[in-house]
Structure 1
């Protein structure tokens, strides 16, 4: 018997505590007068804390996450690595991989002089309609907690603070700044607080309080910050507010809220100083907050005289890209593979032709970088064939869909970063098939863009220098130039070269020379709030005032409203475009200049895609969402794919029986064609190495390693999907602890695909389940019954007795992945979460045992358990 147990890949442990004692922290606090202590409790700027030279405290840089480290500035010239979305990481069910990616993020943070990464997001997939679904891990608190702990260990092993956010019940975007989440005590503890407890147990250094209220109290003033967070859990780090979430002086200061961001915060300056001096806020509360900030500074190396823990070394760029490529395949979930269509088999190269394999090599020692089977990039295209055997070779492959040539690699909102390079699915497939006998043909099929496309170096030139890109000028009230800079994008979120000087300006101007390549009516646009104008060769196209539609920070600072106009163009003749917007307090700095050619005829484009598929041996269709329907700042009114994508998939599948559909979305979408497409693969938002990782899966260089982290509905109608919109400001979590697969079971309904589901390129037989006497360890023996090596995620669920005041549906109690060669067996050692045997008792205000009898169930998903074992 071959035994492969989890944990075979070494992963870094959390960074050791810095060499600073509590007595030394107390002495540092004592050296500061009260005004100095108060100053430390709010930020020094938008993404930086305050320094205090008197005690050797340096400013700490803060950046949004979780799929990359943007840095302190919104500047497209400051690029960053882009990881797969949180949903993709959770789909891997692979703690070591996630820890390795955390190490990578820490290196990115150090490179950008960032001390605090605002990630991971631990809110749950309460409903797939949540707009920020892609930034959260899963519907199950155990999977969320384990994935988050792995992420935190990796980030903090690099000497960078991770931030568990948004504490708590910040699970939807509609009215997220003000909604009151009404959650019963049992549900709150068993479901929504559980991942945060796991983060604290993993040693997280920062927790972020959310915008929303919970049971009537805004989270920056919530007693939940005291108990359980800083009480029974023993959290010794810093509670930072979400940006702008501190809305009071005394209420937030009396709560265990430590740091108000951004800063300087008007309510935590002189008003807080006065409140302490007048005895309305005890100085002991202030001192505790300061002590925690100093402790955090010691941990991240921002306190003089304290050596930070030695951090994990930064990977080489090549090793980083290989890990990101491996992560794409690890998170891909193969929902359907009828007839073993995947992996595809490329046609052999013509006689005498030389192959051109992708670059090979090792992973550079990054934690979590091992994988079963062939390493990605280990050679040319691998012969395919699913569990049923080898497939006929593909001599002509049609690649179709709007996301094939420009995949969406990350979600929208504050978590966005600027990648240096992105590999599209079309590029990855083309590279993988280079040197083979397979011809690749492409058709877009349908167009998704409805928002204007900001100018970029490929279609614009700076009118002052002629360089690719745009000219940005900041102008005083009298029109004189305050400062100017060359930028690479027509979308400008804040000044880069002279930010403080530019903030004294009254107007921002973006200009560029654009030479249209196609005739017709082009669409031009300007984005921004307040007074905006747009001119083309001096001709006024737009002159209006744009009123804010929301006070949500994401809307104001990242994606404000746009205004458009059309104008006929002459191909080859350059246009001088000039857009302006007035700058006003509290209206943000964002501006954009955009230009789009006439859209192709939709019917003709769809017909061309169908013809392309009809003439091919196989078709790969890449469809997905846009940032107009899946982004921070709003929830999704529908789970349907936008535009005519469903029609495209159905039409292609009707003419080509070997159709593979890749779904490029951060969360669930409706798949009305799923029974007609023989292969359906989820890639989530796969990060910058999207094309390479997907090609590895399509051609069998890597197995699709993912399992669903959340249940997928066949459609919104009739599905047990909780509401996201509050009623009169209140959002009732009326479903209680039953969310995701437990809600489906309680409703007696069947989704399209259950939590935990996912196929590989081999098959498995579950042979035996044993457990120790106290039920803390389950041993599950599985056999690889297929023709190739593979990886299986063994999931163990628990059911309890009829007196449990529960519905009897199984709860995830543990999981472990194993690998085995064809015909070999493997034993998964599954550690059972002790909390699976407990429930929260509001009467006792404590965890108490669930009533027996207990039964463990093992299988490949929450819906299929071939093995059971009573305890």
Structure 2
């Protein structure tokens, strides 16, 4: 099949002149490469992930399955589950006509302040590599490509377009490049995405040493290197550095600019040929180049029509809901579970006499992180809905908000019936589409019949039926001219601007409250928000419209809300408090300022715990938060951003239908001040990675001082385990220095799942994760895991020699339940 692909690529390439080849290297629009019928090339479409497939249009009109965040998937410590996620996403991609998924993100959790922490897997390169490899295999099993991102050291968001990250060669190799190397070696991805940032002086889209030298020549990568969107800045620098595809199009540094550079003698046409060959190879692998075989051996298909008919949206949605629920359960990390009345408080007894469910996130769960990872599911199961459905009908369930974590208005949602109307000159209607929320987000593709050059304004029109009476708040978000009218009253008529340094954040703008309107219950009122496109949008290299109608229910007295929650908790047998972050805390485009829960959520937990000893706290966040109350509550359950089935999965865990299966993929500090690495803000454009290898659990172990709140690898279940044997065996696979057998026994009274972790320590070196496996056993039953240690576990990067060298032995091996809890120890020599 490989020969057939290469033959088809060569034939297609031979039919192209310089203009045609250069045109292959520039996107035709925001998400696609243009079809070239004369060489048998169909259109190739890309789409953001990694927790769903948005498709060509960033709109809720075309809903997507929304899986839990990557941190939740990594918390399962289960590569096979990650591979199943990849396969589901491949089906979703084919259904939406997508050929390449812009995922996974395999940057590291270098600092807990990283704003995009939720979109990456772990602080550990080995765990990241294992989950990422399985995810890539799963997607590509289904005939859909990936672009592993963001290559490399894109570990924070502050000044991400310009920052120069200064990383020592050993840390670069052993930590930040390591997941990419493993995925290239073991999964052969079709694409890699070059990051915005620079590394050691060279911006990544032009980094000849890393793109050509390491990625291609050393590792043998034969896929496409695509820029992050708008990352490519120099025609000559990019093509000579090793960038194949500059996105988005059509206004990029390639295309006509590349033709001109070749003709001016600035670029060797052979470099254009190499890049065009790789783009055609991607098209062949994706099944959109005539004469090539698709990955499953079938003839290449120009579109997904037949497959879409067989693999229906309903089937994919049902399978996606089931898998989303499973991942959410398996990723839940039970951090604490103290006994009350002689037994751990979790799982809750459904006949226990009543549950108080508390917290704004219990009613309106945050199921995914902000930024390009967002998709629009067709439904979301809130914790309130999930518990109501799972509890026996006679079991009392009382809900109280307690505290509002957000100080900003959100996009108009419940009670609104809205549609967006695109307007041209003299307000001529160009097209329209329904809006499930007040957010308009058109990037690249517009509603049917709308041409971007003709667009002058967009109006969000409709009506609102309040469910509560009082002073409802309305506002706007975006950059441009706005006129907001509610119930015949003009609340704002003017221009809104945003000077945020990150273009992504500046484009979408800040939420601004514009006024309040007294409304009665169930009395419909008209709503209209007119948005005038600012002239500067015409200068952007992308066709984009983004703004929002905002709404907030009447504000209530904070003390009254807290008192209601305390009263509900005091009257219930158990209290479940759901706390979390907001989109203004965790999102693409900025880093976090602290690890505090927003609003008065910490106070809420403390006051509830004071009146109910059976208080369970569920943390709805994608990354670490400070939990000053953690020793005062009975149980702490980390749910991450749990995807569309959030409430159903949470009910499964709280009521014991399923065991929380997760283990921490990153260390949780008690306080930000305790964290070993906190600097994410560059100085004079540079961010030194001065900590070297001391990242994550390695850094915590290497220093004296406060221990973390919960260590890497930590997680409890609903049963207990005894580790009975650790044995070093001769290697079973080529390249592995040894195999390890770990035997365990379930000493509890119910079936359970355990994540067996093996850590290796070289003489005088840091402990590092060297293997892991999940095992299952019935109550009283035994299980064993046999792990093959990776070669890299006993090697280090010799900066002086510029290569990998074996560590001296002997090595210490620990079988452990976390990085801080070794249970059995053995030694071995190579």
Residue 210 of structure 1, aligned match among 176, 184, 195: 195
Of 820-829 and 858-867, the range deviating more from structure 2: 820-829
Q: Would you say the 8 A contact 1:491–1:591 is kept in 2?
A: yes
> Aligned-pair distance for 1:512?
2.2
Q: CA RMSD in A?
A: 1.8
Q: Would you say the 8 A contact 2:159–2:501 is kept in 1?
A: no
Alignment of 1:760 onto 2:717: yes
Q: Would you say the 8 A contact 1:346–1:699 is kept in 2?
A: yes
For 2:478, the equivalent position in structure 1 comes to 528
Question: What is the TM-score when the length of structure 1 is the normalising length?
Answer: 0.89
For 1:567, the equivalent position in structure 2 comes to 516
For 1:801, the equivalent position in structure 2 comes to 763
Question: What is the TM-score when the length of structure 2 is the normalising length?
Answer: 0.93
Distance in 2 of aligned mates of 1:549 and 1:245? 20
Residue 241 of structure 1, aligned match among 222, 227, 231: 227
Q: Deviations over 1:174-206 (max 9, x none)?
A: 111111100011110000000001111111111
Alignment of 1:26 onto 2:29: no
For 1:177, the equivalent position in structure 2 comes to 161
Distance in 1 of aligned mates of 2:449 and 2:812? 61
For 1:859, the equivalent position in structure 2 comes to 816
For 1:372, the equivalent position in structure 2 comes to none
Distance in 1 of aligned mates of 2:356 and 2:183? 45
Name the SS for the 1:630 alignment partner.
coil
The structure richer in helix per residue is: 2
Distance in 2 of aligned mates of 1:809 and 1:712? 19
> Aligned-pair distance for 1:538?
4.6
Alignment of 1:121 onto 2:105: yes
For 1:610, the equivalent position in structure 2 comes to 566
**1:625-774 mapped onto 2 (5 Å cutoff):** 625-749=581-705, 750-773=707-730
For 1:366, the equivalent position in structure 2 comes to none
Q: Would you say the 8 A contact 1:159–1:310 is kept in 2?
A: yes
Q: Would you say the 8 A contact 2:697–2:711 is kept in 1?
A: yes
For 1:434, the equivalent position in structure 2 comes to 392
Name the SS for the 1:267 alignment partner.
coil
> Aligned-pair distance for 1:824?
2.0
Of 129-138 and 581-590, the range deviating more from structure 2: 581-590
Q: Would you say the 8 A contact 1:791–1:819 is kept in 2?
A: yes
Alignment of 1:501 onto 2:486: no
Alignment of 1:85 onto 2:33: no
> Aligned-pair distance for 1:786?
1.2
> Aligned-pair distance for 1:280?
1.6
Change in CA separation of 1:490 and 1:21 when aligned onto 2, cut-off 3 Å? closer
For 2:89, the equivalent position in structure 1 comes to 105
Q: Deviations over 1:306-359 (max 9, x none)?
A: 231239995654333222211111000000011143433445xxxxxxxxxxxx
Distance in 2 of aligned mates of 1:862 and 1:648? 32
Distance in 1 of aligned mates of 2:786 and 2:682? 43
> Aligned-pair distance for 1:81?
0.4
> Aligned-pair distance for 1:297?
0.8
Of 538-547 and 763-772, the range deviating more from structure 2: 538-547
Distance in 2 of aligned mates of 1:844 and 1:412? 43
Q: Would you say the 8 A contact 1:40–1:51 is kept in 2?
A: no
Alignment of 1:160 onto 2:117: no
Distance in 2 of aligned mates of 1:853 and 1:523? 67
Change in CA separation of 1:440 and 1:538 when aligned onto 2, cut-off 3 Å? closer
Distance in 1 of aligned mates of 2:255 and 2:326? 48
> Aligned-pair distance for 1:212?
0.4
Name the SS for the 1:590 alignment partner.
strand
Distance in 1 of aligned mates of 2:675 and 2:81? 33
> Aligned-pair distance for 1:556?
4.4
For 1:4, the equivalent position in structure 2 comes to none
Distance in 2 of aligned mates of 1:25 and 1:480? 46
Change in CA separation of 1:516 and 1:790 when aligned onto 2, cut-off 3 Å? closer
Q: Would you say the 8 A contact 1:742–1:809 is kept in 2?
A: yes
Residue 259 of structure 2, aligned match among 266, 269, 273: 273
Distance in 2 of aligned mates of 1:113 and 1:858? 46
Distance in 2 of aligned mates of 1:324 and 1:522? 35
Name the SS for the 1:816 alignment partner.
strand
Q: Deviations over 1:604-656 (max 9, x none)?
A: 11111111011111111111111011111111101011111111111111111
> Aligned-pair distance for 1:105?
0.5
For 2:772, the equivalent position in structure 1 comes to 815
Number of aligned residue pairs: give it.
794
Distance in 2 of aligned mates of 1:698 and 1:485? 40
Change in CA separation of 1:481 and 1:608 when aligned onto 2, cut-off 3 Å? same
Distance in 2 of aligned mates of 1:48 and 1:316? 23
Residue 232 of structure 1, aligned match among 196, 202, 218: 218
Change in CA separation of 1:336 and 1:158 when aligned onto 2, cut-off 3 Å? same
Alignment of 1:343 onto 2:346: yes
Change in CA separation of 1:55 and 1:858 when aligned onto 2, cut-off 3 Å? same
Distance in 2 of aligned mates of 1:543 and 1:220? 42
Of 412-421 and 24-33, the range deviating more from structure 2: 24-33
For 2:173, the equivalent position in structure 1 comes to 189
For 2:241, the equivalent position in structure 1 comes to 255
Of 477-486 and 648-657, the range deviating more from structure 2: 477-486
Q: Deviations over 1:261-287 (max 9, x none)?
A: 001134212221011123221111111
Alignment of 1:589 onto 2:551: no
Distance in 1 of aligned mates of 2:432 and 2:660? 48
Change in CA separation of 1:76 and 1:316 when aligned onto 2, cut-off 3 Å? closer
Distance in 2 of aligned mates of 1:689 and 1:477? 44
Distance in 2 of aligned mates of 1:317 and 1:60? 24
> Aligned-pair distance for 1:747?
2.2
Q: Would you say the 8 A contact 2:486–2:517 is kept in 1?
A: no
Change in CA separation of 1:19 and 1:489 when aligned onto 2, cut-off 3 Å? farther
Q: Deviations over 1:427-466 (max 9, x none)?
A: 111111134x42211111111232223223x422xxxxxx
> Aligned-pair distance for 1:53?
1.2
For 2:734, the equivalent position in structure 1 comes to none
Distance in 2 of aligned mates of 1:93 and 1:267? 41
Distance in 1 of aligned mates of 2:356 and 2:3? 60
Change in CA separation of 1:521 and 1:656 when aligned onto 2, cut-off 3 Å? same
Mind listing any 5+ residue stretches in structure 1 that lack a counterpart? 1-16, 348-392, 461-468, 803-807
Change in CA separation of 1:783 and 1:686 when aligned onto 2, cut-off 3 Å? same
Mind listing any 5+ residue stretches in structure 2 that lack a counterpart? 298-306, 732-736
> Aligned-pair distance for 1:771?
0.8
Change in CA separation of 1:257 and 1:682 when aligned onto 2, cut-off 3 Å? same
Q: Would you say the 8 A contact 2:5–2:291 is kept in 1?
A: no
Q: Would you say the 8 A contact 2:677–2:691 is kept in 1?
A: no
> Aligned-pair distance for 1:741?
0.8
Change in CA separation of 1:443 and 1:60 when aligned onto 2, cut-off 3 Å? same
Distance in 1 of aligned mates of 2:99 and 2:5? 21
Alignment of 1:67 onto 2:51: yes
Runs of 4+ in 1 over 6 A off after TM superposition: none
Distance in 2 of aligned mates of 1:762 and 1:574? 53
Q: Would you say the 8 A contact 1:414–1:554 is kept in 2?
A: no
Change in CA separation of 1:795 and 1:173 when aligned onto 2, cut-off 3 Å? same
Q: Would you say the 8 A contact 1:513–1:574 is kept in 2?
A: yes
For 1:287, the equivalent position in structure 2 comes to 273
> Aligned-pair distance for 1:163?
1.4
Distance in 2 of aligned mates of 1:439 and 1:564? 38
For 1:488, the equivalent position in structure 2 comes to 436
> Aligned-pair distance for 1:842?
1.5
